[in-house]
A and B are shown apart, each in its own frame.
Chain A
Amino acid sequence: MSDSTAPVPTVAVAAVTRRGDAVLAADGISVRFGGLSALDNVSLDVPRGQIVGLIGPNGAGKTTMFNVLTGLQEVTEGRVLFEGDDISRWPAHRRGRAGMARTFQRLALFTRMTVHDNLVASWESSHRGGVFGRGRSDRQRRVEDIMGLLDLWALADRRAGELSTGQGRMVELGRALCTDPCLLLLDEPGSGLDARETATFSEILRTVTSGDDPPAVLLVEHDMALVMDVCAELTVLDFGKVIARGTPDHIRGNELVRAAYLGDASVL
C-alpha cells in the first residue's frame, strides 16, 4: 500500500489551473517527527465556496495536515498559501484572525462556559478589539444569527461540558462560524453522531456553504455516506502521501483507494 505512486496526473493539472481562485493552497507539505514521516510532499487546494474532502486510513496524516494548516504544527518542508499570503510561519492565532477556523476531532469546547458564551468568546477572539469590548452590537447580531442557524437556542445557557457529542459538534461549528471564516476546517464532525444527527449535520453544512460568499470547507471524515454526499472533490491520503484525488465517483472506483481505505463496499 505504501509504495503507491504519485497523484493521478490529470487531477494535478486541474489543480494547477484552478489555483488562482483557491482560498487555501498547500504546496509540497512534509512533516517529519524524528525519522518518522507523517506527511510527505502533500499538496492540496481548496477552491472558494467549495467543500473538499480529505479522507484516508487512520494515521494517514489527516489531523497532522489540519494542524499544519492551522499553525499548531510546524512544517519540515513546504508552504501554505492562504488568500494569496504565504502563512507558513504564522502562529495559530494569526491564522485564526485571518479567517481560518477549525473544529476538533476530540471536542475542544470551553467546557465550563455556557454555549452562548462559547460563541461570544469566539467572536471576541477573532475580531480586532474584541477583548476590549469593541463591536458589541455586531457581535450580538452575529452570535444570535448563528445560534438560530444551528438551532442552539435551547442550549444557550447550558454549560458546554454537559453536552452530548452531537450537541458539542454543533457548538464547535457555531464557534468556528462566529469568526466569519473564509475557510472552515472540519475534523471528523460526524464522528460519534448517530444517523439522525449526521443527517441534520449534512443539511446544516449545506446551508452554511450556500448563500452569498460562503466559506470554503475542508472536511476530514470517515462516514463515507456523508463525504460522498457533500464533497465536490476528494483527496485521499495514505501513509502521509496523496494516493488519489478527484470527484467522489472517481474515488469510489479507484483501485488504490479501495485497497488502502474503502475495502469491500459492505460498510458504505
Chain B
Amino acid sequence: MSAYWPFIVIGIFTGGLYGLAAMGMVLTYKTVGVFNFAYGAVAMFCAFTYWQLHDQWGITAWLAMPILFLIVAPVMGVILEALFRPLSGAAVEVVIVVSLGVLAALSAGAGLLWPQDEHLQPIFPISTFVLGSHLHVGYDQLGTLLISLSMAALLWALLRRTRFGTQTRAVVDNPDLSDMIGVHGDNVRRIAWILSTVFAALVGILISPSQGLDVNELVLVVIYAFAPAVLGILFGLPAAYLGGLGLGIAVSIMSKWSNSGTVANFEAALPYLALFVLLVVFGARLKSAGSGAVAQRLSALRSSETVGRLRWRIGSLRVERGLALGLGGFVLALLVPVAFPGPNLNYLTQGFIYAAVALTLVVLTGWAGQISLAQFSFVGVGAFTAGHLSGAHGQHFLFAVLMGMLFAAPLGIIVGLVSLRLSGLYLALATLAFALVMDNVVFNRNDVSGGLTGITVPRPHFFGISFTGTASMYELAVVVFGLLAIVAYALRKGPVGRRLHIVRDSPLAASTLGVNLTVTKIVVFVVGAMVAALAGSLYGAWQQAITPQDFMWSASLELLLLVVLGGRSLIAGAVIAGVVYVIPFLPEIPTKIDQLIPLLVAIGVIGLAQEPEGSVDLTRRQTRYVLGVLRPLPRPAGPPVRGGGGAPAGTPKVVASHVR
C-alpha cells in the first residue's frame, strides 16, 4: 500500500481541482442550462491574466489576486451571461456550438496575446513536509486541497442553506414565474455566472504552476472534469467534488501502473471512459435542461417563412430552386481545375472531403436531431483501415474503401445504441467521450496508426484511371461529394427525410404511429459512420500520409461548429463548413490572420444567438425580404392587422372601457 501513497497525494491534489471545475460547470448548467464547454478556456484565460499581472508586471500577489477574483473574473462572468442570455430556449446544439465558439475565441485570443509554454510562478512555497514515516507532501498540494475543499463547502452551503440557493433553482425551473413572484432572474443568473468564472480562475491559477501555461493543455485538463460534472448534475454538488477527487486519485494510480508498463496509456483515457459509462448507465435519469417545447416553438417561429418549396420555371419545366442551384454548383465545381489549375486546388479537394463529413452531421444533427461529436473517429477508422489495406497490403482501392466503411459500421451501431438512451447535451458528451477514448486507446496504437509518424497511403487507381494528379484527385472528391449530396437531397424531400424529421420533433409520437426508433436511429448512425469512413479513406488517399492528429476529437467539434454556422439542416451548410474548414491551411493567408480566423468564426458563432438556423437561412430570408419589398407578394394568411382597435365587422357595439 505504501507504494501508492505518493500517487494518492498527487491524485487528491489534482482531483480537488477537477472537483472545483466540475462544480463551476454544474453551477451554470443548473442555473442557466449552459454546459460550458469553454470552461477550461475561461480558466486558462484567467491564469494568463494572472501571469501577466503577477509574473510579468510584477504586481504583488496581494494585489493581483483581488484584481483577478474581484474584477477580471466577475467581468468575464457578466460578459458570458450577456452572451448566453439570448440563447435561453435555443436548441442544444446551438448552445453547445456557441460555447465552443467562446472556447475558440478565448484560445485564439490567448494565443495572440501571450507566448505559450510559460509557467506560472507557484502560489504556494515549493517545499515539502513529511507525513508519517516518509510520505512527502508539498505545501502547494496541501494548500490547493484546503482551498478547493473550503470553496466547495462554501458553494454548497450557499446553494443549499440560503435563499439565494432556492432562488437559483426557482429561476432554472420556471424563469417567467420567478419574475412574476418577485425574483430578479437576471441577477440570479449573473451571480451564478460570476461564481462559476471565479471558480474557473481559481482552478486556472492553482493548476498552472504544475501543468504549465498552455492554451490547449488547460482546456484538456478541464475536459477531465466533465465526468465529475455529470455526477454533480445527477447527484448534486458534493458528488461533483467527490467525483473529482476520486477521478484524480484513480488517474494518478493508473499512471503508476502505466509507468510500469502494465496498462499502456489507459490513464489518459480513463476520465473519458468514466464519462461515457456514467452517461450510458444513468441515461434514463438524465433529462436535458431547458424546455424543449420552448426551443421548438422559438425555432418554428423564426424559420416559419422558409416553409414551402421554391420553384423556378424554365420554359414549361418547373425545377426546384435548391436542386437547380445545387446542380449548377456541382457543374461549376467540376470545372474549377480548368479555370484555376495549380497546387491550391489541393485545398479545395480537402474542402470537399470535409464537406462529405459535414454532410453526415447535417443529416444527423439537422435532420434527425442527433448530435454527434465523434464523426472524425469514423473518419479515422476509414482512413487507417483503407490506408493499411491499399498501402502496406496492396489491396484494390475500392476494396480498401469498402472495408474501411465496414469497420466503421459496428462503431456506428455502438453510438446509435447510445443515442437510444441519451439525447441532447448528454448524447453530445457521450459521443465526445467516445471520440476521446478512440483517440487515446485506438488511434494511439502503433499498429493502428504508426504512432506519431503515421502511415503512408498511395493515391487511388481504379477503372483504369489513376488519381495521382492534383486535378484528378480533386474531381474524384467533387464527384463523391456530389453523389452523396444528390442522394441526400433526394431522400430529404421524401419519406426518409420525413422519417428523420419526425424522430427529431417528437420521438414519442413517432413511435406510437409505428416508427421503430431503435432501427431508425441505428441506421442513421451506421450510415453516417460509413459515409464518414468513406470520406476518411478519400482523405488518406489525398493526403498520402496520415497521422492520429488528423482525426482528433477537436476536429469533430470544429466541424460541428462550422456546420451549425453554415446551416445545420442544409446541404449547402455542409459545403460551407467544408470549405471554411480549410481556409486556415491556405499558405497565402498570413500567420497572424490565420490565428484570427478562429476568432472570426467564434464571433460568427456567437452571432448565432440571433440566427439559430445558420447563415444560409439568414441570407435566404434577407434576399426574400428584399425581393418582397421590391415586388410585394400576397403574404400567407396572418392575423389581420386592424387599425385603431375597432371591433370586428358586424359587431353591434364597441364598448367603452370604464365600468362605472
Contact = CB atoms under 8 A, between A and B. Distances in A.
Given A109-B506, A121-B501, A124-B499, A92 B304 contact: no
A261 interface: no
A108 B504 CA distance: 11
Nearest to A66: B512
A71 B303 CA distance: 34
B304 A157 contact: no
A104 B495 contact: no
Contacts of B307: 114, 157-159
Contact of A111 (B296, B495, B512, B513): B296
B158 interface: no
A117 interface: yes
B284 to A, nearest CB: 13
B509 A110 contact: yes
Contacts of A71: 511-512
B506 A125 contact: no
Given A124-B498, A161-B296, A91 B508 contact: no
Contacts, number: 113
Interface stretch (B34-42, B172-180, B449-457, B514-522): B514-522
A120 B498 contact: yes
Contacts of B300: 111-112, 159-162
Contact of B517 (A93, A100, A112, A162): A93
A54 to B, nearest CB: 17
Contacts of A222: none
B511 A92 contact: yes
Nearest to A96: B514
Contacts of B303: 112
B624 to A, nearest CB: 16
A179 B505 CA distance: 18
A161 B514 contact: no
Interface string B485-509: 0000000001110110110111011
A108 B637 contact: no
Given A113-B505, A158-B307, A130 B495 contact: yes
Interface string B401-422: 0000000000000000000000
B496 A161 contact: no
A110 B502 contact: yes
A130 B636 CA distance: 31
Interface in B300-318: 300-301, 303-304, 307-308
Contacts of A92: 511-512
Contacts of A162: 300-301, 304
Could you say which interface size class chain A belongs to?
35 or more
B620 interface: no
B67 interface: no
B297 interface: yes
Given A111-B296, A162-B300, A101 B512 contact: yes
B512 A95 contact: yes
Given A154-B637, A157-B308, A113 B501 contact: yes
Given A109-B506, A133-B495, A126 B514 contact: yes
B440 interface: no
B269 interface: no
A7 to B, nearest CB: 28
Contacts of B514: 93-94, 96-97, 125-127, 179
A160 B296 CA distance: 10
Contacts of A160: 300
Contact of A96 (B299, B506, B512, B636): B512
Given A112-B501, A125-B499, A125-B515, A72 B508 contact: yes
Contact of A159 (B304, B496, B499): B304
B221 interface: no
Nearest to B493: A117
A104 B509 contact: yes
A120 B304 CA distance: 19
A110 B507 CA distance: 9
B333 interface: no
Contacts of B83: none
Contacts of B515: 93, 96, 125
Interface string A151-166: 0001001111110000
A165 to B, nearest CB: 12
A156 to B, nearest CB: 10
A132 B494 CA distance: 9
A133 B498 contact: no
A175 interface: yes
A225 to B, nearest CB: 27
Given A111-B300, A112-B300, A159-B304, A124 B495 contact: yes
Interface in A131-162: 131-133, 154, 157-162
Interface hub of B498, B499, B512, B636 (most chain A Cβ within 10 A): B512
Contacts of B516: 91, 93
A102 interface: yes
A204 to B, nearest CB: 20
A70 interface: yes
B289 interface: no
A229 to B, nearest CB: 26
A105 to B, nearest CB: 12
Interface hub of B308, B516, B637 (most chain A Cβ within 10 A): B516
A121 B498 contact: yes
Interface hub of B293, B303, B304, B508 (most chain A Cβ within 10 A): B508
A50 interface: no
Nearest to B296: A111
A30 interface: no
A45 B501 CA distance: 35
A95 B512 CA distance: 7
Nearest to B301: A162
B510 interface: yes
B501 A179 contact: no
A93 B511 contact: yes
A96 B511 contact: yes
A122 interface: yes
B499 A121 contact: yes
Contacts of A100: 512
A122 B293 CA distance: 21
Given A158-B307, A161-B301, A162-B300, A113 B512 contact: no
Interface of B: 293, 296-297, 299-301, 303-304, 307-308, 494-496, 498-499, 501-502, 504-506, 508-517, 636-637
Interface of A: 70-72, 91-97, 100-102, 104, 106, 108-114, 117, 120-122, 124-127, 130-133, 154, 157-162, 175, 179
Q: Report the 4 A-B pairs with minimum CB-CB distance, sorted nearest first.
A: A161-B300, A96-B514, A108-B509, A110-B505
26 contacts: A71-B512, A91-B511, A93-B514, A93-B517, A96-B514, A100-B512, A101-B512, A106-B293, A108-B508, A110-B505, A110-B510, A111-B297, A112-B303, A112-B504, A117-B501, A121-B495, A125-B502, A125-B515, A127-B514, A131-B495, A132-B495, A158-B636, A161-B301, A162-B300, A175-B513, A179-B514
